[in-house]
Amino acid sequence: MDMCGIVGVLGTGKASSELYNGLFAIQHRGQDGAGMYVADGKNTKLKKDGGLIDEVFDKQALDDLKGGWGIGHVRYPTIGSDVDQDAQPFKVDDPIEIGMVHNGNIVNYREMEEEYDLELKSNCDLEVILHVFAEELKKEEEIDADALFSAAERTMDNLNGSYSVIALIPEMGLFVFRDPRGIRPFVFGKKVNLDGTSIAFASENTVLDILGYKVLRDVMPGEAMLINSDKSYQSRQIKNVLPKHCMFEWVYFARTDSTIERINVYEARFRLGRELAKEWKKNEHNLDVVIPVPDTSRTYALALAEELDIPYREGLMRNRYVGRTFIMPDETSRETAVKTKLNPIIEEVKGKKVGMVDDSIVRGTTSKKLTDLMKRSGAEEVHFLVGCPPIISPCYYGIDIPTKEELKASSKSIEEIRKEIGADSLTYQTIDGLVRGISKDKDELCLACLNENYPTKVREDIREYFGEMRKEARKKVDPEQSKLS
């Protein structure tokens, strides 16, 4: 399962340089591994490894990746994954050389493995996508543009899940396709300068902005596109169903300065903060100060403080060299990270009734630690406010939201959660407030982790398989985690 970031470029002077800067812009989407596959004519080179972008690619590595076409990937550690095996890109040589990256998750991974009799070398579902696409391409008499689109259509017919895919085919160009529900984000743009024209694809538009590309539009759900070597491109709408965009992109995952499905993330989070303020007004508590949990929650807190006419203060300082605790694979590393990641500004909280704003509560570990931290720093009261509604069910589409047993809200009331995290009150966003804040039609959002209405069929045996896989992997990371099951 991968919640990752992808970039693809064609026609630039030095693809590896643009990929490096582009992936750096979406490093927040994955801090566990990185990779690039670059082509210079028909010569290709693939490099991938564990670590951050600047750890995997030094100047020499970038110089060795010669060519004007390339694809790149950053990934985060998800349960059951092995960075040495699962890092992207992947490539095949039959029936034609293809390198591929993706962001998303295939629900019927094991079914596809059996149906196509695949001998996989990893647990990464991209390998399934790549091999299924290659097998379908082998059925074509001639490998041309029509063959690619036909193979993509049959691949989509067989895959259940989320996927934004970029394939680099050295003999042809870039070929991309997106799942029919458009669950994970995907944009493309164009740059024209003295060096000529180049085309780029990415998970978030900020990549294109930073690299100097004009964002043309989103790759549409169910769409496939071929970018030819001469920069011309053709597109086909292969599937056309109601989209189900992941609400968590706006709530947490995307950069604040990104625009996802034409909705700016900053503006959405600001509206979500105002919606949260409406919920807060329904109780009888008072606040002296509003403090965000850095960094995602700043926008929520700013809007909430403005709406309530309460001072906004920075009461927690973040160590920027500690990664996101949500995406850390085991509780021990998450707890250690919380202790070293955030340090209170005691003068801003001592003797005050603090409204602490966070984007979401998943396991509750961080929330409890932060409440304790505030109270040890002298806060008179700590009121926890959450920008996302209660998360009650796992995600099967690419965000590592864990098993039901680990999700606080799946089996506990809001009052029970409040007591567990030690807060004086706990205020959640509502689903209706979330939809109003994002400003997308409710039917076009995937809210499955909030209401269990999954946009594709997820059979019970598949749910059990994912749950058991996570539990077993956690035991391997830390035997004490077996208690979670």
pLDDT in tens, 119-137: 999 989 999 999 999 999 9
- The burial class, CB within 10 Å (0-12 / 13-18 / 19+), for 42 is exposed
Higher pLDDT, 169 or 78: 169
Q: What does the pLDDT read at residue 470?
A: 74
Q: What does the pLDDT read at residue 483?
A: 28
Q: What does the pLDDT read at residue 75?
A: 92
Residue 144 falls within a domain, yes or no?
yes
pLDDT in tens, 47-71: 999 999 999 999 999 999 999 999 9
Q: Is the pLDDT of residue 323 over 60?
A: no
- Is residue 344 domain-shared with residue 226, that is, in the same domain? no
- Is residue 302 domain-shared with residue 232, that is, in the same domain? no
446 is catalytic: no
Q: What does the pLDDT read at residue 83?
A: 77
- Is residue 274 domain-shared with residue 159, that is, in the same domain? no
Task: Please give the average per-residue pLDDT across 16-33, as a whole number.
Answer: 96
Q: Is the pLDDT of residue 482 over 60?
A: no
Q: How far apart are CA 256 and CA 270, in angstroms?
A: 10
Residue 84 falls within a domain, yes or no?
yes
Residue 176 falls within a domain, yes or no?
yes
> What is the β-pairing status of strands 381-386 and 425-428?
parallel
Residue 470 falls within a domain, yes or no?
no
Global confidence as pTM: 0.92
- Is residue 238 domain-shared with residue 278, that is, in the same domain? no
- Is residue 90 domain-shared with residue 56, that is, in the same domain? yes
- Is residue 86 domain-shared with residue 227, that is, in the same domain? yes
Residue 100 falls within a domain, yes or no?
yes
- Is residue 237 domain-shared with residue 279, that is, in the same domain? no
Distance of CA 444 to the CA centre of its chain: 18
Domain that holds residue 73: 5-243
- Is residue 283 domain-shared with residue 236, that is, in the same domain? no
Residue 465 falls within a domain, yes or no?
no
Number of domains, the chain: 2
Q: How far apart are CA 322 and CA 328, in angstroms?
A: 11
Q: Are 31 and 324 in contact (CB under 8 A)?
A: yes
Q: Is the pLDDT of residue 480 over 90?
A: no
Q: Which residues of 176-210 are buried (b: 16+ CB within 10 A; e: fewer)?
A: bbbbbbbbbbbbbbbbeeeeeebbbbbbbbbbbbb
- In this structure, what CATH number is given to the domain that contains residue 280? 3.40.50.2020
pLDDT in tens, 69-107: 999 999 976 545 677 788 999 999 999 999 999 999 999
- Is residue 217 domain-shared with residue 111, that is, in the same domain? yes
Q: Is the pLDDT of residue 472 over 80?
A: no
Task: Please give the average per-residue pLDDT across 424-440, as a whole number.
Answer: 98
Is residue 403 very low, low, confident or very high in pLDDT (cuts 50, 70, 90)?
Answer: confident
77: tokens are: 């550690």
Q: How far apart are CA 49 and CA 214, in angstroms?
A: 31
Q: What does the pLDDT read at residue 436?
A: 98
Q: What does the pLDDT read at residue 400?
A: 81
Q: Are 199 and 10 in contact (CB under 8 A)?
A: yes
The residue annotated as part of the active site, out of 4, 388, 395, 449, is 4
Q: Say whether 250 sits in a helix, a strand or coil.
A: helix
Instruction: Determine which of 80-84, 305-309, 333-337, 461-465 has the lowest per-residue pLDDT on average.
Output: 333-337
Q: What does the pLDDT read at residue 413?
A: 96
Q: What does the pLDDT read at residue 379?
A: 97
- Is residue 210 domain-shared with residue 318, that is, in the same domain? no
- Is residue 52 domain-shared with residue 201, that is, in the same domain? yes
Q: How far apart are CA 149 and CA 177, in angstroms?
A: 9
Residue 274 falls within a domain, yes or no?
yes
Q: Say whether 285 sits in a helix, a strand or coil.
A: coil
- In this structure, what CATH number is given to the domain that contains residue 169? 3.60.20.10
| Mean pLDDT computed over every residue of the chain | 92
Residue 373 gets the label, from left (phi > 0), alpha (psi -120 to 50) or beta, of alpha
Amino acid (1-letter code) at residue 298? R
The sign of the CA dihedral 279, 281, 285, 289 is positive
Question: For residue 10, which of 216, 205, 178, 228 has the smallest C-alpha distance?
Answer: 228
- Is residue 108 domain-shared with residue 220, that is, in the same domain? yes
Residue 472 gets the label, from left (phi > 0), alpha (psi -120 to 50) or beta, of alpha
Residue 165 falls within a domain, yes or no?
yes
